[in-house]
Structure 1
Amino acid sequence: SSSYELSQYIGGAELSEPELISHTDAVPMEVAPLKFCIPHVAVSFGPSGQLVWVSPALASEGEPAQVELHSLEVILCDTHEQQDMRDFPGPLAKEDLHKVDAINFALQMSEKCLKDEKLEDATSAALLWHLLILLCRQNGRIMGSDVAELLMRDSSSLGACGVSDDGDGETLIDLSETPTSEKETLNFADLLTGYPPTDKEAAKQNLQRYTKLLLSGRKKEALESAMQSGLWGHALFLASKMDSRSYNTVLSRFTGSLAPSDPLQTLFQLLSGRIPASWSSEKWGDWRPHLAVLLSNETGDPFIHHRSIITMGDTLASRDMLYASQICYLTAQCPFGWYTNRSERLVLLGSKQR
Structure 2
Amino acid sequence: MMKVFRNWVHKYFSDEEAVVLAVVLALGFAIIITFGSKLAPLLTGLVLAYLLQGIVTLFKRWGLPHWLSVWLVFLLFLGGLGTVFGVVIPLVWKQMAALFNELPRMLAEWQSQLMHLPERYPAFVSEGQIERLILTANAEFGQFGQWLLSQSLASLPMLLNIIIYLVLVPILVFFFLMDSKKLGDWLVSRLPEERRLMVEVWTEMNQQIANYIRGKVVEIIIVGAVSYICFVVLGVNYAALLAVLVGLSVLVPYIGAAVATIPIAMIGLFQWGWSSEFLSLIVVYGVIQALDGNVLVPVLFSEAVNLHPVAIIAAVLIFGGLWGFWGIFFAIPLATLFKAVLYAWPRGVEAAGSEEESVEQA
Name the TM tier (shorter chain): under 0.3
- Give TM-score, length-normalised by structure 2: 0.21
> Whose helix fraction is larger, Structure 1's or Structure 2's?
2
> Whose strand fraction is larger, Structure 1's or Structure 2's?
1
Structure of higher CA gyration radius: 1
- Give TM-score, length-normalised by structure 1: 0.22
